[in-house]
Amino acid sequence: MFIHSSLPLFGQELIPEQEWDQFMSILRQPLPSTFRITGTRHVATAVRECLQQTFFLELSKALQGAGGQGEELAPPTPLPWYPDQLAWYVPLSKAFIRKSPDVSKFHRFLVDESDQGNISRQEAVSMIPPLVLDVLPHHKVLDMCAAPGSKTAQLIEMIHANDERTPSPLPSGVVVANDADNKRCYMLVHQAKRLKSPCFMVTNHDASVFPVLYHHDEHDVRCPLYYDRVLCDVPCRFVGLLL
């Protein structure tokens, strides 16, 4: 793991000296793996039960004898603040899951279900902003700095939250996902196409001067598009970045 060279100089102004060693020790610990089950899919319950009854049981058994890998081998647990046990915490690094033969079936399952749009691998802290926005199916949502798109996918799922509880074929809401970097916009498309939603569009523009978009209302009158929710997770300066 690489820790940005400016971190000690920057950090010493923020962290008390007596806590510095503990702070640096925690920064050097591998990030755990977290993922979400797509709650708008009718298969969400089946995916969760399959994880709990098959893969998590097998994973726990396999890890009982794998303590020599230098990992904290605790059982997978649901994130307590995420609804319906649809977000999970696995206290193993991505590298361990990817390389260890003991969890190869679990890794293959994650990859396959992610490709199908049934699971999204996403850091826990990244799941919080869409939750607190309380997006509803009729909302017009602007994600101003959207790439790589994990939060965007979560917003799209929230637009489709009532799909299986209403006879209406499509929700009236939309997610406009913008990013200033053209190449990163392709990442947005890749993230979103797994969900197969028509209630989504990608724009490539400087968010600080994002233009007014227009649409036609039910009377075919051209109107400006006003947003019910705006998410702006701006790019950081990478001070203290862990690689």
Spatial CB neighbours of 35, under 8 Å, sequence gap ≥ 6: 87, 88, 90, 110, 114, 119, 120, 121, 122
234: pLDDT confidence band, cut at 50, 70 and 90? confident
Half-sphere exposure of 45 (CA within 13 A, CB side): 1
Which 3-state string (H, E, C) describes 214-230? EEECCCCCEEECCCCEE
pLDDT at residue 224 greater than cutoff 60: yes
220 assigned ligand-binding residue = no
More confident residue, 210 or 63: 210
199 assigned ligand-binding residue = no
pLDDT at residue 228 greater than cutoff 70: yes
206 assigned ligand-binding residue = yes
The CATH number of 129-231 is: 3.40.50.150
84 assigned ligand-binding residue = no
pTM of the predicted structure, to 2 decimals = 0.82
What per-residue confidence (pLDDT) applies to 3? 54
User: Mean pLDDT in the chain?
Assistant: 84
181 assigned ligand-binding residue = no
9: pLDDT confidence band, cut at 50, 70 and 90? very low
8: pLDDT confidence band, cut at 50, 70 and 90? low
DSSP E strands: which ranges in the chain? 33-37, 77-78, 87-90, 119-121, 140-143, 174-179, 200-204, 214-216, 222-224, 229-231
125: pLDDT confidence band, cut at 50, 70 and 90? very high
66 assigned ligand-binding residue = no
94 assigned ligand-binding residue = no
pLDDT at residue 84 greater than cutoff 60: yes
H helices of 100-169, where? 104-115, 124-133, 150-159
Mean pLDDT calculated for residue range 28-50: 85
How far is residue 69 from each of residues 30, 58, 59, 107, 222, measured CA to CA in Å?
12, 18, 15, 17, 61
Q: Which amino acid is at 11?
A: G
What per-residue confidence (pLDDT) applies to 30? 76
- Residue % of the chain over a pLDDT of 70: 85
Mean pLDDT calculated for residue range 223-233: 96
Quote the tokens at residue 82.
Answer: 């995420």
Mean pLDDT calculated for residue range 205-215: 95
DSSP 164: T
Domain spans of the chain, in order of start: 33-121, 129-231
Task: Give the phi and the psi of residue 144 in degrees, each rounded to 5.
Answer: -80, -35
91 assigned ligand-binding residue = no
208 assigned ligand-binding residue = no
How far is residue 42 from each of residues 48, 68, 140, 229, measured CA to CA in Å?
11, 40, 24, 26
Identify the CA nearest to 225 among candidates 210, 205, 240: 210
The string of pLDDT tens digits covering residues 180-202 is 999 999 999 998 999 989 999 99
Mean pLDDT calculated for residue range 147-166: 89
Quote the tokens at residue 168.
Answer: 């209406």
What per-residue confidence (pLDDT) applies to 214? 95
Spatial CB neighbours of 150, under 8 Å, sequence gap ≥ 6: 120, 121, 122, 123, 126, 191
The string of pLDDT tens digits covering residues 46-71 is 899 999 888 887 777 666 655 545 44
Mean pLDDT calculated for residue range 150-173: 86
Burial label, 195 (beta-carbon count in 10 A; 0-12, 13-18, 19+): buried
- Residue % of the chain over a pLDDT of 90: 50
Task: Give the phi and the psi of residue 89 in degrees, each rounded to 5.
Answer: -115, 120
What per-residue confidence (pLDDT) applies to 72? 45
Residue with tokens 């489709």: 160
